[in-house]
Amino acid sequence: MSYYVLLFTMIVASFLFVGVTMIVARLISPRSFNRHKSEAYECGIPTQGNTWVQFKVGYYLFAILFLMFDIETVFLFPWASIVQEMGMNALFGISFFLFILILGLAYAWRKKALEWK
**CB neighbours of residue 8 within 10 Å:** 11
Supply the pLDDT for residue 99. Answer: 92
Supply the pLDDT for residue 45. Answer: 67
Alpha carbons 104 and 66: distance in angstroms, whole number: 12
Does 52 score more than 80 pLDDT?
no
Does 51 score more than 70 pLDDT?
no
Top pLDDT among 40 and 90 is at: 90
